[in-house]
Amino acid sequence: MKLFGKPDYKWVALSNATLGMLIATINSSIVLISLPAIFRGIHLNPLLPGNASYLLWMLMGYLLVSAVLVVSLGRLGDIFGRVRMYNAGFLLFLIGSVLLSIDPLTGAHGALWLIIFRVVQGVGASMLMANSAAIITDAFPVNQRGFALGINMVAGIAGSFIGLVLGGLLSEVDWRLVFWVNVPIALFGTAWAYRSLREIAVTRRAKPDWWGNITFGVGLTAILAAIVYGIEPYGGHTMGWTDPWVLAGLVGGSALLVGFCIIETRVAEPMFDLHLFRIRAFTAGNAAQWLNSVARGGLQFMLIIWLQGIWLPQHGYAYVDTPLWAGIYLLPMTAGFLVAGPISGWLSDRFGARAFSTGGMLVVAASFGGLLLLPTNFPYLSFALLIALSGVGSGLFASPNSAAIMNSVPASHRGAASGMRATFQNSGMVLSIGIFFSLMVVGLAGSLPQTLSTGLTANGVSPSAAHQVASLPPVGVLFAAFLGYNPIHTLLGPTHALEHLSAHQQATLTGRSFFPHLISGPFHHGLVIVFSMAIAMSLVGAAASLMRGGHYVHDDEDIDRIDELEETVGASS
């Protein structure tokens, strides 16, 4: 198919859109591993009272923005041009990356600078994610979309795995490199996009649906922000789910989303046409996407805590080195995804999405079941095979499911549909972090205090200091392990209990084996709860995928006629 005299335009569109998707998703996780180096660089201890919110927003702000804005930005792409919105996103992402790299401040002000410009970067990433799939869908004929969107989806999800390793490697040199690495890539991508991409779809100018945008954006922001703060302790509780502000966010946000649904049925040009949910393939695909994101999103966090807090120290790694090595030891998951994703996308063009997507979710559920059977101090080969299996399952699911969603909607709504697909995916990630952390804290709260108190007093810590540490919210222990800090040294530091112990006792308590052995039992108890929930989510997601029906393409005959016409016009030119 010739477009604008360039027989390879579809591959240009795929390459640039995939680069945009890759850089956007790499930055959803690159900070995850780099947080210890970043906080050391700006001279801020995130575990001190009052600083936990900086940690949470540094971690979640980017994900929250990308979850909230993608539908609105996708719809604006339908109205004003998908390529125009995509190009502007690359430019905004570049600006945000430069400003993050030159943070001149330290302490709380330095953290606020990073949070604000991570949000700016997230807005640019949202513009890329909202429109990349629509640009690819416009450029490719029906019989090649599964493969093309599969490549794009593989890059998107693989980016979140690549970010873990890349962040660990770069932050070992300098924390600013975590942001500087984006600058040349974004500069190249921006110049290439403005030079090469063309508007193929016919845009239909419409008045923006301001009330729809406002109610959707504010409502979803309120819910996701409440989930973020629900992880923090509140009052005398281990978590913040009883905080009036958290409850107000959940209830008020839900009410605004109900209002959004009412508004969208009454305005002439809605931000998102809710009638698209009457398309079974679209609804089932998005439901399966959301359930997959919830099940998979928290998996990274749980595996990182498992590796950094328990397994790596037990195998001789210093706590300060565990963030980097956790990313490296998770590479089999990336490899499994990279192998399965493109193949399943290509096969789904011929055989449809249902078998691959449903089977992929079942494989993910099986991998969670296998992880449940592992001992806390597992043999690595077994662990590597199981997380590779999880990656294969995610690859089998993601590409066909994405292609099926995009094929099911009219061409004039592809931008909004792409944004809604990304919203289900990104909001599921944020929700999964809240759910999985909360379930883990519930699992730890029952046995960790007694285990900590007994273990500390047995090694010379005074009963009062041991009780003080054991009474701390379990989330502090998780964050300490997650950040690669020495947990016992971090927990006992404010009590000054270590100063009154012998050198041998200090070495025992802060060594590489005491804390992992101490927490193994309570942690595994929490892990059973978390992974059981993930198995249930995956199985329900498989059922939703099964309900999508057979291979379906919206206006398939019309699209084929358009493709034939373009080929005829191209040949005559």
- Same domain? For 391 and 245 the reply is no
Task: Say whether both 417 and 320 belong to one domain.
Answer: yes
One domain, residues 255 and 291: no
Q: Which of 471, 26, 425 is nearest to 237 (CA)?
A: 471
Q: If DSSP codes are grouped into helix, strand and coil, which group holds residue 42?
A: coil
Say if residue 314 is in the same domain as residue 427.
yes
Is 301 domain-assigned? Answer: yes
| Region label for 511, one of left (φ > 0), alpha (ψ between -120 and 50) or beta (otherwise) | beta
Task: State the total domains in the chain.
Answer: 2
Residue 477 lies in a domain: no
213/360 same-domain check: no
Q: Of 270, 289, 310, which closes a domain?
A: 270
Structure token digits, residue 151: 């490549």
Residue pointed to by tokens 């790499």: 26
d(CA 223, CA 219): 6
Q: Is residue 196 part of a domain?
A: yes
- Asked if the structure places residue 289 within a domain, the reply is yes
Placement of tokens 């699992």 in the chain: 443
Q: Which domain holds residue 220?
A: 209-270
| Domain end among 270, 293, 312 | 270
Predicted pLDDT at 571: 44
The predicted pLDDT at position 81 comes to: 86
User: What per-residue confidence (pLDDT) applies to 206?
Assistant: 66
Do residue 143 and residue 72 come from a single domain?
yes
**Quick one: 288 and 151 in the same domain?**
yes
- Burial label for 517, CB within 10 Å (0-12, 13-18, 19+), is middle
Distance spanning both ends of the chain, measured CA to CA: 12
User: What Å distances lie between residue 293 and 197, 208, 300, 392, CA to CA?
Assistant: 30, 30, 11, 15
Burial of 296 (0-12, 13-18, 19+ CB in 10 A): buried
316, with CB counted inside 10 A (0-12, 13-18, 19+), is: exposed
Is 479 part of any domain? no
Which pair of tokens denotes residue 566? 């373009």
pLDDT for 130 equals 84
Q: What is the pLDDT of residue 16?
A: 94
Query: Looking at this protein, which amino acid is placed at residue 221?
Result: T
DSSP 369-434: HHHHHS-SS--HHHHHHHHHHHHHHHHHHHHHHHHHHHHTS-GGGHHHHHHHHHHHHHHHHHHHHH
State residue 409 phi and psi, 5-degree precision. -110, 155
Cα dihedral 168/169/172/176 (nearest 10): -90
Question: Are 91 and 191 found together in one domain?
Answer: yes
Q: Judge whether 8 and 570 are in contact, CB under 8 Å.
A: no
225 inside domain:
yes
Tell me which of 219, 242, 270 is where a domain ends: 270
φ, ψ of residue 152 to 5 degrees: the values are -65, -45
Find the helix or strand (DSSP H, E) in which 487 lies.
helix 487-492
Chunked in runs of 10, what are the mean pLDDT values of the chain (573 residues)? 56 92 89 85 81 81 84 81 92 96 94 95 92 86 78 79 84 92 94 90 71 87 84 78 91 93 85 83 90 81 85 88 84 87 80 88 94 93 95 88 83 76 81 80 80 88 86 76 76 79 87 85 84 91 87 53 42 42
pLDDT value for 556: 44
Local structure of residue 102 (DSSP, 8 states): T
- CATH code: domain of residue 327: 1.20.1250.20
Rounded CA-CA distance 361/294 in Å is 12
Asked if 105 and 62 sit in the same domain, the reply is yes
Give me 325's structure tokens: 């090595």
Nearest Cα to Cα of residue 478 among 497, 491, 467: 491
Same structural domain, 403 and 276: yes
Predicted TM-score of the model (pTM): 0.80
Predicted local distance difference test score (pLDDT) of residue 185? 93
Do residue 25 and residue 153 come from a single domain?
Answer: yes
- Asked whether residue 247 is assigned to any structural domain, the reply reads yes
Residue 571, token pair as written in the block: 């040949």
Q: For the chain, how many helices (H) and strands (E)?
A: 23, 0
Same domain? 105 vs 214:
no
Please check whether residue 421 is in contact with residue 167, taking contact to mean a CB–CB distance below 8 angstroms: no
Domain assignment of residue 467, yes or no: no
